[in-house]
Amino acid sequence: MSRPGTYVGIDKELLGGMTTIGKTIRDGWVFGVLPETETCEGWNLAGVDALLQKVNAEWDKYGCLVCHLPPELRERHERIHGEAFKNAKAAGWSGEVETDDEDYTDTPARGA
């Protein structure tokens, strides 16, 4: 099975777009790199990668921490990502897909 050559768009992703690309797009909206109406439908990998680099440059200004964002950006982040989280949960997303391959039972205790 071959991978598609272009991105489907954040509004068409399964389970509310809770993917790395979806997060990057939402962060692009937070920082004003993209208008909130841009779904990135039809973008190729090079376009998504360029967006990721712009978003990473913005995060670097704030030490990659939400708590370091100025109030306006922090409020926008909470609104955009909060809505996405709510919509994804309503679509059946639970967050388990992101952690189901992590097994902490084999990890030795710190200092052991």
What are 9-20's pLDDT values in tens digits?
A: 999 998 889 999
Distance CA 74, CA 52 (A): 19
Give the DSSP H/E element, type plus range, for residue 80. Answer: helix 71-90
Residue 57 lies inside a defined structural domain of this protein: yes
| Model confidence pLDDT, tens digit, residues 51-92 | 999 999 999 999 999 999 999 999 999 999 999 999 999 988
Q: At 57, phi and psi to the nearest 5?
A: -65, -40
Determine the pLDDT at residue 96. Answer: 72
Residue 2 lies inside a defined structural domain of this protein: no
Residue 40 lies inside a defined structural domain of this protein: yes
Residue 5 lies inside a defined structural domain of this protein: no
Determine the pLDDT at residue 105. Answer: 46
Residue 63 lies inside a defined structural domain of this protein: yes
Residue 76 lies inside a defined structural domain of this protein: yes
Residue 109 lies inside a defined structural domain of this protein: no
Distance CA 94, CA 97 (A): 8
Structural domains counted in the chain: 1
Number of C-beta neighbours around residue 74 at 10 A: 15
Residue 110 lies inside a defined structural domain of this protein: no
Length in residues, the chain: 112
Q: What percentage of the chain has pLDDT greater than the value 70?
A: 82
DSSP 64: T
Range(s) of the domain holding residue 70: 10-94
